[in-house]
């Protein structure tokens, strides 16, 4: 039987976490959720722990509390390792800030049946983003286009973070040798899956800008991601040899 889990990193998402969990579990898709919290100052983890203690979601909600904030990639890796140990077949990445609409989960599960990695894409027909400024759209699309050209991969939304992996993809990637830990982590995971020959597909999603809380994106993070893309390209042969 195929088992599915959503790995959801959190940091100061106390205003959003209950809402997103309600939306996910309301769908009755037999999907578990693992919240990986980086010891949020707003104590997001306490709200999740309370839901677990009251068994609000029939043992389908799980929590890891990390001691320090070490970047999105580190949180995802810990979540991926937990999911692999628990023998999940499909592992979904999803943000907790309501930018990733749970209504697409059913589509992910359908598409992953014939693919190894399915990416929720803003940049294929039917996809997009709402409540973004023109500058934000330019930066996002430009970053994805830049990554696609430099890395020579056929992924329209190279920076997308709403995706579904078959466990075989994550098992094939040596987490200890990942080059990125921040925003570029999404690019690297897409890149590694692509150059290793896994079947990668995209589904259209509408990205919805967060309403509550503060975005973690900054100019420094974006520039660092662009530089990491070049590092990834330079190290292509090394990456392939490591797997």
Determine the pLDDT at residue 114: 97
Q: Are 144 and 123 in contact (CB under 8 A)?
A: yes
Q: Are 63 and 89 in contact (CB under 8 A)?
A: no
Give pTM, 2 decimals. Answer: 0.92
Determine the pLDDT at residue 218: 52
Mean pLDDT by 10 residues, the chain (243 residues): 94 96 96 97 97 95 93 94 98 96 97 98 95 83 91 93 97 93 90 96 90 56 80 86 73
- β-pairing verdict for 128-130 and 117-121: unpaired
- β-pairing verdict for 117-121 and 163-166: antiparallel
d(CA 187, CA 225) in angstroms, rounded, equals 9
Domain ranges of the chain: 4-242
Cα 27 to the center of its chain, rounded Å: 20
Which tokens in the block code for residue 52? 């677990």
CATH assignment of 4-242?
Answer: 3.90.550.10
Determine the pLDDT at residue 140: 83
Determine the pLDDT at residue 153: 94
> What are the residues whose beta carbons fall under 8 Å from the beta carbon of 172, sequence distance 6 or more?
196, 198, 243
Determine the pLDDT at residue 73: 92
Query: Residue 116, Cβ neighbours under 10 Å: how many?
Result: 19
Determine the pLDDT at residue 211: 62
């Amino acid at each position: 039987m195929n088992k599915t889990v959503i790995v959801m990193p959190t940091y100061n998402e106390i205003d959003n976490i209950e809402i997103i969990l309600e939306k996910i579990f309301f769908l009755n898709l037999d999907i578990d959720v693992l919240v990986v919290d980086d010891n949020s100052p707003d104590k997001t983890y306490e709200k999740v722990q309370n839901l677990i203690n009251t068994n609000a979601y029939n043992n389908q909600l799980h929590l890891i509390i990390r001691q320090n904030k070490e970047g999105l990639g580190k949180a995802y890796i810990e979540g991926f390792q937990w999911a692999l140990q628990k023998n999940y077949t499909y592992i979904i990445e999803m943000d907790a800030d309501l930018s990733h609409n749970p209504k697409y989960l059913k589509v992910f599960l359908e598409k992953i049946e014939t693919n190894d990695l399915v990416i929720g894409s803003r940049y294929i027909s039917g996809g997009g983003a709402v409540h973004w400024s023109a500058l934000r759209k330019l930066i996002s699309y430009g970053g994805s286009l830049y990554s696609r050209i430099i890395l020579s991969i056929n992924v329209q939304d190279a920076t997308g973070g709403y995706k579904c992996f078959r466990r075989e993809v994550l098992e094939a990637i040596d987490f200890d040798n990942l080059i990125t830990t921040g925003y570029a982590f999404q690019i690297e995971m897409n890149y590694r899956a692509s150059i290793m020959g896994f079947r990668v597909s995209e589904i259209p999603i509408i990205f919805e800008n967060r309403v509550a809380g503060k975005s973690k994106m900054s100019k420094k993070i974006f520039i660092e991601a662009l530089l990491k893309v070049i590092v990834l390209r330079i190290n292509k042969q090394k990456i392939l040899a490591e797997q």
